[in-house]
Amino acid sequence: MKQPHTPDGRPLYLSAPFIFGFVIAMVIPPISMLLFSKIHGYNISEAGAYSELVRFLNIRLLSASVIVNVGLFFLALRFDKELFSRGVLYGTVFIFVIILLYKYAL
């Protein structure tokens, strides 16, 4: 199968808009989770008896904060920024993989 390329011939994953979208999609969920935890006053790294509850809340917060990535993806598509939106999409899928690993493997 042929790899997708940018209009100037470079591989898709080496284009600046793709990398920028991927990085933005990776950074937004942890930042929104930290902001929510600071605003509502719970410790996202609590140990002891509350560790399962905190883990459950962290998974829920990460999953909910991916909604911002979805909005960013559709906004980029609206303004015909296809490479940026692909980066956001790939970053969001990567975040979902991290969430699944955090939920089931740890």
The DSSP bridge partners found for residue 11 are: 5
The DSSP bridge partners found for residue 5 are: 11
- Structural domain includes residue 8: no
pLDDT digits (tens, 9 = 90+) for 64-82: 878 888 899 999 999 988 8
- Structural domain includes residue 82: yes
Q: For residue 53, give Cα distances in angstroms to 30, 42, 56, 90.
A: 18, 11, 5, 29
- Structural domain includes residue 75: yes
> How confident is the model over 21-40, as a mean pLDDT?
84
In which band, very low, low, confident or very high, does the pLDDT at 1 lie, cut at 50, 70 and 90? low
Give residue 81's domain range.
Answer: 67-106
pLDDT at 46: 62
- Structural domain includes residue 21: no
- 23/34 Cα distance (integer angstroms): 17
Using CA atoms in the order 48, 53, 56, 61, what is the torsion angle rounded to 10 degrees? -100
Q: For residue 100, give Cα distances in angstroms to 10, 14, 17, 86.
A: 32, 27, 27, 21
- Structural domain includes residue 87: yes
pLDDT at 44: 63
- Structural domain includes residue 96: yes
> How confident is the model over 92-97, as a mean pLDDT?
89
